[in-house]
Amino acid sequence: MTPDLVVGQRFLAAQGAPGAFLVGVTGAHYYGFPSPDSDLDLKGVHVAPTREVVSLKPPPDAFDHLGVFEGVEIDYTSHELGTALRLLLKGNGNILERILSPFQLLESDEARALRDIAGRAVSRKFFHHYRGFFGRTCQDWRAAQSPTVKGLLYTYRSGLTGIHLLRTGECVGDVARLAPIYGFDKVAELVARKARGAEHGAIGDATGFDADLGRIEAMLQEALAASPLPAEAPNADELNEFLVLMRKERFV
C-alpha cells in the first residue's frame, strides 16, 4: 500500500467513520494517473443503526468531509447502505466504482460479500451514467480556454470505463490499462505528463484528441447496442436480502 493510502487508513481511524464497513479509494489513484499533489478521494458505504432508520427522524443518506490530514487533502463521502444499493440498481457508476475499487481501506466479510454481489449487478443501465459523465467532461475540456492534461484524462477515463463495462461486465477505472486495449496510444504520454506534475499544463494542438473523443462517443453507443449485459440488475433480490440481513444485525 502506498504512503498516501496509509494516510487514508489513519484518517479513517482518527475520524471514527461510524458504521463504515467499506471504503474504496477512487479519484486519480483509481483512474491510473495519480501525481504527487493528487488529493485522496475516499468513498464509503456505512450502515446506520436500524432503530434510527425506522424512526421518525431517519439519519441522512450520506455525509461528506473535506479537509487536510497529515498534509494530504482528503475528500471523504459515505452513503448509507440502503441508499447505496438503490443507486446501484439504478446504474450509478460512482457507487459501483467505490465498491469494486481495488484499493480498499477497510476489509471485512461484509465488504467482500457486497463486492461479490455488486459485481453481478451490472446492467445496461450503467450506460447512462458513463455517457453522461463522458459528455460533461468533454464539454468542460472543450470549453476551457487552456485545456489541461488532467481534464483530458478524465474524459478518456470516463468513456473507456463505460465502454469496457458494457462490453465485458468488468468495472475497470484505470485508463492506463484500458487505453491500449482500445487503441488510444496517446493516453500513455498524458499519464506520464501528469505524473511529472504537468496536470494543469496546456495541451496545445487538440486536433488529434478531438478525433479520439468522437471515436469514444461512437464506441459507447456501439458498446450499448452490442452489450451482453441484462437490461437491469439480475440479482436485485440478493441485494435486498443483503440489506435486510445487515439491518437485522444492527437493530440496536
Model confidence pLDDT, tens digit, residues 177-228: 999 999 999 999 999 888 887 555 667 666 678 889 999 999 999 999 999 9
Q: What is the CATH number of the domain that holds 242?
A: 3.30.460.10
pLDDT surpassing 90 at residue 11: yes
- The answer to whether the Cα torsion of 58, 68, 194, 29 is positive or negative is negative
Asked whether residue 172 falls in the same domain as residue 78, the answer is: no
Q: What is the pLDDT of residues 111-161, one digit of tens each?
A: 999 999 999 999 999 999 999 999 999 998 888 777 888 899 999 999 999
Instruction: Mark residue 9 as left, alpha or beta (left: phi above 0; alpha: psi -120 to 50; beta: remaining).
Output: alpha
Asked whether residue 78 falls in the same domain as residue 29, the answer is: yes
Asked whether residue 98 falls in the same domain as residue 155, the answer is: no
Task: Kindly report the average pLDDT of the chain as a whole number.
Answer: 93
Asked whether residue 241 falls in the same domain as residue 220, the answer is: no
pLDDT the model gives residue 35: 86
d(CA 172, CA 213): 19
Domain that holds residue 136: 126-226
Asked whether residue 167 falls in the same domain as residue 191, the answer is: yes
pLDDT the model gives residue 19: 92
pLDDT the model gives residue 202: 65
pLDDT the model gives residue 200: 56
DSSP state of 107: -
pTM equals: 0.94
Is the Cβ–Cβ distance between 153 and 161 less than 8 Å?
A: no
Asked whether residue 7 falls in the same domain as residue 110, the answer is: yes
Asked whether residue 7 falls in the same domain as residue 116, the answer is: yes
pLDDT the model gives residue 205: 65
Count CB atoms within 10 A of the CB of residue 161.
27
Asked whether residue 74 falls in the same domain as residue 167, the answer is: no
Asked whether residue 173 falls in the same domain as residue 112, the answer is: no
SS3 of 2, please? coil
| Four-point Cα dihedral 228, 230, 234, 236, nearest 10 | 140
Domains: count for the chain: 2
